[in-house]
Amino acid sequence: MTISSSLNAGIAGLSANASRLASISDNIANSSTYGYKRVQTDFHSLVMSSNNGTYSAGGTRATTQRLIDERGPLVSTSNATDLAVRGRGLLPVANVSEIQSSNGDPQMLLTTTGSFRTNSEGYLTSESGLVLMGWPALPDGTIPSYPRDTPDGLEPIQINVNQFSGEPTTKMTLGVNLPATETEAGSTGDAEELSIEYFDNLGRSENIHVDFTPTVPATGSSNTWTMTLTDTANPGVVIGEYTLTFDDSRTSGGTLASVTTVSGGAYDATTGAMIVNVDSGPMEINIGKIGESDGITQLSDKFAPVSISKDGSPVGNMIGVEVDANGFVHANFDTGITRTIYKVPLIDMPNPNGMVALDQQTYLPSTESGTYFLWDAGQGPTGDIVSYAREESAVDVAGELTAMIQTQRAYSSNAKVIQTVDEMLQETTNIKR
């Protein structure tokens, strides 16, 4: 009966608007929840067949969808491990309870933001119990090749705040000026001495002593020096000896003219370096190329170490952790060095809105979301990772309040339809009287 279909349509309208009000109330309740994604309720009409000129009301039904691909504004914080994704992509996380239970690999969940700090076991954990996941780096800081279509290579990021770290010295560059007057006839012939600190494989401090001994001719100027290298780790042992001859021409005066190897690693004229063996292994020492003034020179009457540079560092304490825009997790030490310890990928899929929404603003890939892929942050379709930042709720409170007013009016109107149908049925009943 047509009038009965009107009643059913009114009831369907009440149910649909009640669902919409539920989503609106959830959105407003989470308007201050970091990373919250708005729920949207849509109505779809139901059309019933019409017979003999009569129309049967089908009413409406409501469907809800969480708009995971909508992003809220980013706000700055003071914590280096407060992270947010700028653009597409989600961060991999896991429940800390699953990790502590040690019951196999934890299930990978996804989120767009989080405030992570080390817990009692050193895991980067949010207040809601989510642990940040990443690929562990090798001891040299490089990231091996991991599968990109599965989370099997991901591990909970664990920070050892009591960790010590040091870097051995493997290269050094000498920029030294030798006095030209010392290679003239009648000079004293005293050696010029230079001591350069380096760090061995265990972070201990050692020194390379460099003695520059001039060759004093009977007449004129020799422009020649003997450079002798010794290592304090092996006192008295010469690790390299070289004869340096300098140019005295108008165009290249004071630059190296030739280097003759007496002992130690051979001088490479193309790079300006030689490799000598200190107690902790081979070390490259660059003294400059032939004809160039960026290394050892012979000018004027002053001995001057102009510029000495080297790599390596002493043992230091970890003082903090930061995540860069490409997802690399860097451990900072009080000696000034930085070491890469993890890399956080960004996960993307064709339909992010098809994921299953869970508690704590986390999501689980599903068949509706499509096949996911683990991207390097900033590559492919993904955005980058912003540290010292959180993503605010994607809810517009003004818009939700406006929708609430519309929903309230629609609900009242559907209730009026039911009331009207009831009155019409009452009139039908009264016909018998």
Per-residue model confidence as pLDDT tens digits over 270-327: 999 999 999 889 999 999 999 999 999 999 999 999 999 999 888 778 888 999 999 9
pLDDT at 79: 94
pLDDT confidence of 57, banded at 50, 70, 90?
confident
Helix H segments across 235-364?
none
Reading the block at residue 157, the tokens are 């990021």
pLDDT at 314: 81
Domain ranges of the chain: 2-67+394-430, 78-141+320-391, 169-311
109 contacts 133 by C-beta, under 8 angstroms: no
pLDDT at 11: 87
Q: What is the mean pLDDT of the chain?
A: 92
235 contacts 225 by C-beta, under 8 angstroms: no
Is residue 48's pLDDT more than 80?
Answer: no
pLDDT at 259: 97
pLDDT at 45: 84
pLDDT confidence of 430, banded at 50, 70, 90?
confident
- Closest Cα to residue 151, out of 377, 356, 325, 344? 344
Is residue 1's pLDDT more than 60?
Answer: no
What's the pLDDT tens digit per position in 120-164?
Answer: 889 999 999 999 999 999 988 899 999 999 999 999 999 987 666
What's the pLDDT tens digit per position in 255-283?
Answer: 999 999 999 999 999 999 999 999 889 99
Helix, coil or strand: residue 362 = coil
Reading the block at residue 114, the tokens are 């989080």
Reading the block at residue 45, the tokens are 């009409």
Question: Which segments of 168-294 are extended strands (E)?
Answer: 171-178, 192-199, 205-214, 224-231, 238-246, 256-263, 273-278, 281-286
| 3.40.50.2300, 2.60.98.20, 3.20.20.10, 3.40.50.12780: CATH of 169-311 | 2.60.98.20
pLDDT at 141: 86
**Mean pLDDT of all residues in 16-31:** 94
Reading the block at residue 411, the tokens are 């609900």
pLDDT at 198: 94
User: Rounded to a whole number, what is the largest CA-CA distance in the chain?
Assistant: 146
- Closest Cα to residue 292, out of 269, 262, 321, 274? 269
